[in-house]
Amino acid sequence: MTQILDIHDLKAIARRRVPKLFFDYADSGAWTEGTYRANEEDFQRIKLRQRVLVDMTDRSLETSMIGQKVSMPVALAPTGMTGMQHADGEMLAAQAAEAYGVPFTLSTMSICSIEDVASVTSRPFWFQLYVMRERGFVLDLIDRAKAANCSALVLTLDLQILGQRHKDLRNGLSAPPRLTPKHLWMMATRPRWCMKMLGTRRRTFRNIVGHAKGVTELSSLHSWTAEQFDPQLSWKDVEWIKERWGGPLILKGILDPEDAKMAAKTGADAIIVSNHGGRQLDGAPSSISMLPRIVDAVAHQIEVHLDGGIRSGQDVLKAIALGAKGTYIGRPFLYGLGAMGKEGVTLALDIIRKEMDVTMALCGKRRITDVGPEIIAE
Ligand code: FNR
């Protein structure tokens, strides 16, 4: 049995357990994957200040994101098709996050529905919205998120047009997956994954199937999805969504200080500095490299969060030190899920929490709320 010490160990196990088609879907970035790599590598360039002989007892990672208490400033990012990493993936990840006291964000493009996740959790989760051309469907999703008592809407702004991922094209992956003999072979080599999946066939893209116009089953979902992302999305639409939702709103996919200023003007509660995990504009800078400029531009007006490339608790701490109020992990929890289901998500969170706690102490801090740029070495 492989010893699991860090997120990379979970990734190695997930690679062995999840069919290549779906593992690659998680582990891919757009085009050359340069931005995907930069997200991780740029964290390594940031060095921490070691401090000694500071009282390190009674440490706390507790803080808040958009006014909601979190046991540590790490939320689970919205990820499409999470239920393909592991049967009932969204439901299991939501339960793990709930038990841990951190937010779970359900993607519009999830396998399990808003209602499925609500049925297995007792505390509110967050819902991520893609604004589709079919605005009636968007309104219906907002109403469903309200009915499920979701406590924040995460509106994704950086996917008006879909970035191209070579791994997915080479594997012939589409959303929803259209199974070919090659795919069936990829699945057959992961019998354990298949056994778990067998019982869950009824749960597929349930946020959309049966709700969007003309999408009564999976086959019609394919053409609907292809034409639904809206290249004309504008700041006016953001205002419209804000009004219709009426609750806490987080704008995801801001990577430029000018856009951050526009976002702050909408009166949203937070922005997420993000390049969609390097899955959209390849060649864009890493999220962490843009954080300081965005914090300078808007942090006095709006809460700034960050995602992209976080693979350890040290990375979280660096983002917090540079001005983020909270962070999100995408692939780290997907690797945990693919490796070991719910237990694996909990383990991913445990690894990150432990690394953050020890690092914080060795930087001479006892509370995450006291961490600032002074822990970064020049
Ligand atoms: C994503 N991401 C994403 N974002 C979003 O707003 N809606 C979505 O449906 C998805 N789907 C999705 C699928 C997969 C497999 C990945 C890896 C990512 C982006 C996600 O929310 C987040 O921005 C990144 O995952 C953060 O980078 P890391 O933590 O994966 O490096």
pLDDT in tens, 103-149: 999 999 999 999 999 999 999 999 999 999 999 999 999 999 999 99
Structure ipTM over 0.95, yes or no? yes
Query: Does the beta carbon of 25 lie inside 6 Å of ligand 1?
Result: yes
In the chain, the amino acid numbered 71 is: S
Q: Is the pLDDT of residue 286 over 90?
A: yes
What is the rounded distance in angstroms from the CA atom of residue 67 to the CA atom of residue 84? 32
Which protein residue has the closest C-alpha to ligand 1 atom 25?
330
Ligand 1 pocket: which of 276, 280, 288, 329 to mutate (most atoms within 8 A of CB): 276
Counting ligand 1 atoms within 8 A of each CB, the residue from 79, 85, 305, 337 with the most, and so the one to mutate, is 79
Ligand 1 site, residue 276, Cβ cutoff 6 A: yes
Residue pair 61/327 in contact by the 8 Å Cβ criterion: no
- Give yes or no for residue 109 CB within 6 A of ligand 1: yes
| 92, pLDDT greater than 90 | yes
Write out the E strands in the chain.
Answer: 63-65, 68-70, 74-76, 105-106, 126-129, 152-156, 249-254, 270-273, 303-307, 326-329
pTM given for the model: 0.97
Q: Name residue 17's amino acid.
A: R
Structure token pair of residue 293? 């400029």
HSE-CB of 164 using CA atoms within 13 angstroms: 5
Tokens 């979902």: give the residue.
Answer: 221
- The one-letter code for the residue type at 334 is L
78 C-alpha vs ligand 1 centroid, how far in Å? 6
pLDDT at 67 over 80: yes
Residue 203 Cβ < 6 Å to ligand 1: no
pLDDT tens digit string along 7-52? 999 999 999 999 999 999 999 999 999 999 999 999 999 999 999 9
Mutational pocket test of ligand 1: of 36, 249, 279, the residue with most ligand atoms within 8 Å of the beta carbon? 279
CA of 228 to the centre of ligand 1 (A): 19
pLDDT in tens, 41-60: 999 999 999 999 999 999 99
How far is ligand 1, taken at its centre, from the CA of residue 163, in Å? 12
Beta-carbon neighbour count of residue 254 at 10 Å? 29
Q: Show the tokens assigned to 217.
A: 């089953």
Whether 206 lines ligand 1, by a CB cut-off of 6 Å, is: no
Report the 10 Å Cβ neighbour count for 76. 29
CB atoms within 10 A of CB 296: 12
| Nearest CA residue ID for atom 23, ligand 1 | 276
| pLDDT of the residue at 61 | 98
pLDDT of 143 reads: 97
Q: What values do phi and psi take at 61, rounded to 5?
A: -105, 0
275 CA distance to ligand 1 middle (Å): 9
**276 catalytically annotated:** yes
Give dist(CA 58, CA 70) in Å, integer.
17
20 φ/ψ angles, rounded to the nearest 5 degrees: -50, -40
Which of 346, 187, 357, 242 lies closest to 365, judged by CA?
357
Ligand 1 pocket residue status of 156, Cβ below 6 Å: yes
pLDDT band at residue 287 using 50, 70 and 90 as cut-offs: very high
Three-state SS string across 119-171, please?
Answer: HHCCCCCEEEECCECCHHHHHHHHHHHHHCCCCEEEEECCCCCCCCCHHHHHH
| pLDDT at residue 225 in the model | 83
Which residue owns the Cα nearest ligand 1 atom 18?
Answer: 79
Which of 8, 86, 166, 276 is labelled catalytic? 276
